[in-house]
Amino acid sequence: MAELILLMPLAASGISICTDKFLAGLTALVQALTLAFSLVLAWRVAQYGPLNYGWFYIDAVGALFLLTVAVVSCTAAIYSAGYVRSAHDGAPITGASLRRYYVQFNLFTFAMLLIPLLGNLGLVWIALELTTLTSVFLVGFEYTGRATEAAWKYLIISFVGAMLGLWGLVLLYYCTVHAPAAYQGLEWAHLYRLAGSLNPQTMKIVLLLCLIGYGTRAGLAPMHTWLPDAHGEAPSPVSALLSGAKTTVSFYVVLRFYFIAVRSLGATAQHLMLFFGLLSVLIAAAFILQQQDYKRMLAYSTVEHMGIAGLGAAFGTPLAIYGMLFHLFNHAVTKSNLFYAAGNVLLKYRTREILRVKGLLKSLPLTGVVFLVAVLAIAGLPPSGIFVSELTVLTAGFRTYPGAAVALLALLAVVFFGLVRSMYQMVFGPPGGDVPEMGISNWNNLAMALSLLLIILPGLIALPLLHPLLNAAAAVFAGR
């Protein structure tokens, strides 16, 4: 099953090299099938426990993140189908350019789907590198000076993070070599089991290196600097993938290391995570407040939500871990939808300045409504999954770290102010006279509608597969 999940986007990527006919539909279909297989796999894991064969190790956590990536990839593929038809100021992307887009798109999703399936942290490191390498030219796809600048910063800073992550990985391995337990290697399950016997002094450095290194990809401040550039400059479906899937799956890697360290270091590890989490939310809040570019604003909101997830991990109780994992899922779904809506706005208005977009409700009614609902959801209003998961994280936080939880709550209010202020100026008002005539493809609307469902549903009912999986995943990390 896992092979199938990986093979399909790989095959789609291969096909994309050869032809540019039906690529959009094919990719959407392939990603939908991948999602279906991921659902089956996740169901099996939820039902029968972790799968472990070959290089694969899929426990509930992995299945959860696999599902998250698959969902976002699927909607992004659907959205892409509409996007490529009018990306160049209304003109479709064709020929070699189209092939290049889909080769990289499918490879990128392949790399992201790979990460939660692997059990060896060394391989995870490589897969994470693969996500960066396959997405660099997607970020620079627009082929402009700005896009190239963003791609450069993305690649350079990601590489520095990768090197630090590798450093941490090596030291972790060094730890196991000299640990009393007879295990040498980087299999996560073993490491997690043995975490108590690892040298805490070394583990401290390992944790710090991993937090900085993998946190770079996950968008934790102050290593987040590439994120607004890359997410802002990338084509909108790619922004959705980056914000929804890539940061999420990178955070998953952070979590794998972090929870080994928590077993070895206890509260010290939590304090370190607390530092990065709070700093992320703080910096994101400050930049959301003064942002003039709506795509960058959404990117900073990603930093903020990674910070919230970090705080959830730092709070450390089973409830907090549950809330944190749930939050990552909700954020992935909501943020990708926001980038779809933002993409439609960009297609129509051809500007990314907040102040030059007015009257969305009139000029793009569906996009306007979705943008409005999704911004309110990402800002934490119910009924949305984000509300539930934030409330969960806060509830846990008030018990363990009340100071941090209070600070988070205050910053959430600030972020709300910033996001809604920009949103209402875009959504309402009279539409400007110079908005080009331009229809939005039904593919785009389909992608938005699908993810809108996933934004709202978890805030109202207990979803069948998701919550058993979350329970099991929280149990894995809570060490019960």
Binding to other proteins in span 397-416, by CB under 8 A: 398-399, 405-406, 409-410, 412-414, 416
Identity of the residue, 90 or 429, whose beta carbon is nearer to other proteins in the bound complex: 429
Contact pattern for other proteins over residues 438 through 477, marking x by CB under 8 A:
---------------------xxxx----x--xx------
Query: CB of residue 95 vs other proteins: minimum separation in angstroms?
Result: 19
173 contacts other proteins (rule: CB under 8 A):
yes
> Encoding tokens for residue 148?
């190239």
User: Residue 120 in 3-state DSSP?
Assistant: strand
Query: CB of residue 441 vs other proteins: minimum separation in angstroms?
Result: 22
Query: Rg of the Cα trace of the chain?
Result: 21
Instruction: Find the angle CA(142)-CA(239)-CA(377) to the nearest 5 degrees.
Output: 145
Cα 239 to Cα 135, 168, 229, 295, distances in angstroms: 10, 29, 10, 9
Task: Please report, as residue ranges, which positions from 67 to 126 form the binding site for other proteins (by CB under 8 A).
Answer: 120, 122-123, 125-126
> Encoding tokens for residue 339?
């980038």
Identity of the residue, 72 or 423, whose beta carbon is nearer to other proteins in the bound complex: 423
Task: Please report, as residue ranges, which positions from 335 to 354 form the binding site for other proteins (by CB under 8 A).
Answer: none
Among 48, 143, 182, 437, binds other proteins (CB under 8 A): 143
Identity of the residue, 446 or 463, whose beta carbon is nearer to other proteins in the bound complex: 463
261 contacts other proteins (rule: CB under 8 A):
no
362 contacts other proteins (rule: CB under 8 A):
yes
Q: Which DSSP string corresponds to 320-359?
A: HHHHHHHHHHHHHHHHHHHHHHHHHHHHHH---BGGG---
Among 201, 355, 432, 439, binds other proteins (CB under 8 A): 201
Among 32, 129, 193, 475, binds other proteins (CB under 8 A): 129
Q: Other C-beta atoms within 10 Å of 166: how many? A: 17
Identity of the residue, 1 or 133, whose beta carbon is nearer to other proteins in the bound complex: 133
Query: CB of residue 71 vs other proteins: minimum separation in angstroms?
Result: 19
Query: With the C-alpha atoms ordered 71, 418, 293, 300, is the resulting torsion angle positive or negative?
Result: negative
Rounded to an integer, what distance in angstroms lies between the CA atom of residue 335 and that of residue 385?
12
Q: What residue type is assigned to position 472 of the chain?
A: A
Q: Which DSSP string corresponds to 297-315?
A: HHHHHHHHHHHHHHHHHHH
54 contacts other proteins (rule: CB under 8 A):
no
Identity of the residue, 27 or 104, whose beta carbon is nearer to other proteins in the bound complex: 104
For 280-318, b/e burial (b = at least 16 CB within 10 A) is: bbbbbbebbbebebbbbbbbbbbbbbbbbbbbbbbbbbe
17 contacts other proteins (rule: CB under 8 A):
no
Q: What residue type is assigned to position 93 of the chain?
A: I
Task: Please report, as residue ranges, which positions from 365 to 384 form the binding site for other proteins (by CB under 8 A).
Answer: 372, 376, 379, 381-383
Q: Which residues contact 150 (CB under 8 A, 6 or more apart)?
A: 139, 140, 226, 229, 230, 232, 233, 234
Rounded to an integer, what distance in angstroms lies between the CA atom of residue 441 and that of residue 79?
9
Identity of the residue, 25 or 185, whose beta carbon is nearer to other proteins in the bound complex: 185
Task: Please report, as residue ranges, which positions from 181 to 200 form the binding site for other proteins (by CB under 8 A).
Answer: 185-186, 199
Identity of the residue, 85 or 352, whose beta carbon is nearer to other proteins in the bound complex: 352
Among 4, 403, 424, 442, binds other proteins (CB under 8 A): 424
Helix (H) or strand (E) holding 457, with range, is none
178 contacts other proteins (rule: CB under 8 A):
yes
Among 1, 33, 189, 208, binds other proteins (CB under 8 A): 208
266 contacts other proteins (rule: CB under 8 A):
no
- Which range, of 86-94, 106-114, 334-342, 417-425, touches other proteins by CB under 8 A? 417-425
Residue 353: phi, psi to the nearest 5? -85, 130
235 contacts other proteins (rule: CB under 8 A):
no
For residue 118, the cross-strand partners are: 56
Q: Which residues contact 365 (CB under 8 A, 6 or more apart)?
A: none
- Which range, of 1-9, 26-34, 285-293, 344-352, touches other proteins by CB under 8 A? 285-293
Identity of the residue, 29 or 407, whose beta carbon is nearer to other proteins in the bound complex: 407
Among 1, 7, 32, 160, binds other proteins (CB under 8 A): 160
Query: CB of residue 207 vs other proteins: minimum separation in angstroms?
Result: 9
Q: What residue type is assigned to position 333 of the chain?
A: V
359 contacts other proteins (rule: CB under 8 A):
yes
Query: CB of residue 25 vs other proteins: minimum separation in angstroms?
Result: 28
Query: CB of residue 29 vs other proteins: minimum separation in angstroms?
Result: 29
285 contacts other proteins (rule: CB under 8 A):
yes
Q: Tell me, rounded to whole angstroms, the distance of Cα 424 from its chain centroid.
A: 25
Q: Tell me, rounded to whole angstroms, the distance of Cα 286 from its chain centroid.
A: 21
Identity of the residue, 19 or 144, whose beta carbon is nearer to other proteins in the bound complex: 144
